[in-house]
Amino acid sequence: MEKTNVMRLLTQKKIPFEAFHYESAEALSGVEAAERLGLEPAGVYKTLVTVGHSGAHYVFVIPAAGELDLKKAAAASGEKSIEMLKSRDLLPLTGYVHGGCSPIGMKKPFATWLDASAEKREWIVFSAGKIGFHVRVAPAELKRILNYRFADLCREEP
């Protein structure tokens, strides 16, 4: 399997990880990716990039099956309001394409939050920076390469 920049950064920082790969020319949902990889969907997370009322950008890493609650995200970041970044703006801002966005290795660091559910997990799986490539990392180890905070970020299920 080829190594992505995310994998190289994890290796460089001596952070243990496990790599996963599936073949796909297009982005899959996080739940579909978990199914393709044979992984428990609850342990697979997606990386979402947002823009706040102030114009600042924020990164939220939430369970693949979850939906970001924009009010909770705004509260966590101290913003009046937050909206999702437009897909066309993702690559120039982060260096990643939709479906291959990782919280690690963006063009510049952004304030980042992991959903509180990740705090209870031994490991989480997220994009390795390229469609079809994922890494499994312990949240505690992730702290060594990514400055993040935990927050309750997902909408409550009805």
Q: Residue 35: pLDDT above 70?
A: yes
Region at 146 (left for phi over 0; alpha for psi -120 to 50; beta for the rest): beta
Domains of the chain: 5-151 (3.90.960.10)
Residue of 102, 90, 109 whose CA lies nearest to 33? 102
> What pLDDT digit, counting tens, does each position of 71-99 carry?
999 999 999 999 999 999 999 999 999 98
Percent of the chain whose pLDDT exceeds 70: 99
CB distance 83 to 50 below 8 Å: yes
Least confident of 37-41, 44-48, 151-155: 37-41
Query: What b-and-e string marks burial along 115-152, b requiring 16 or more CB atoms within 10 Å of the CB?
Result: bebbeebebbbbbbbbbbbbbbbebebbeebbebeebe
pTM: 0.94
Q: What's the length of the chain?
A: 158
Q: Residue 158: pLDDT above 60?
A: no
